[in-house]
Structure 1
Amino acid sequence: MKLVLITAITAFDSEVKAILKKIKVNTFTYKEVKGHKNLTESEEIENNWFAGEAVETDSTLFYAFVPSQQMETVFEEVEKLNSKQDIASKIHIAVLNIEKIN
């Protein structure tokens, strides 16, 4: 069993839920969060319409326990979805090993 963390902008909520459903993860948790990007050391600040140094984005953090044998499928589905997106924001995924579960 692995703990999967997925972050995405709120606009991708339904796509992430569809991925979880497709791999038969019917129980998961999600929470609205603020994504933050610091532009102070980036040339992007010059092109930033609002001229701010920090950008916050409405995002969602999903977490779910996923059987180990399903992990490759989750990554493939996220990669497929990211490859179809025309915007800079992508879905991010991380996996944590679970040593013990009760």
Structure 2
Amino acid sequence: MKLLLITAIEEFEKDVINILKNSRLKAFSYQSVKGFKNDKNEMKNWFGKDDIAVDSLLFTVFSEYNCVDSIYKNINEFNSMQQTVPHIHIVTINLEDENFR
């Protein structure tokens, strides 16, 4: 089991939801967050501008291994077509133990 954390600006909400649904996930959750970048030299392109809070979304996904490659592929394809600074960002955390069964 893996934990995926996905951040995106609010304007990409429907796009991320479609990517996740098309990846055959059983469930996911998301919430509104304020993204803030304090140093323009760190975390390039994570949030659009320095010193300005950005309305963003944080998606939390618990997934079996078979969905993860598809999600990364679709997010990378989406990002490659964007001409905006903010992209969809994703990180994966391997879970050692879980109680989902």
| Pair in the same fold by TM > 0.5 | yes
1:1-102 matched pairs, under 5 angstroms: 1-39=1-39, 54-102=51-99
| Residue 53 (structure 1) shift | 5.6
CA distance in 1, matches of 2:50, 2:82: 25
Q: How many residues align?
A: 93
So what's the TM-score if we normalise by structure 1?
0.83
So what's the TM-score if we normalise by structure 2?
0.84
Q: Percent identity?
A: 37
CA distance in 1, matches of 2:28, 2:66: 17
CA RMSD of aligned residues (A): 1.9
For structure 2, list consecutive stretches of 5 or more residues without a partner in the other structure. 43-48
Match of 1:45 in 2: none
Q: Which has the higher helix share?
A: 1
Q: 8 Å contact 2:24–2:67 — kept in the other structure?
A: no
| Residue 86 (structure 1) shift | 1.0
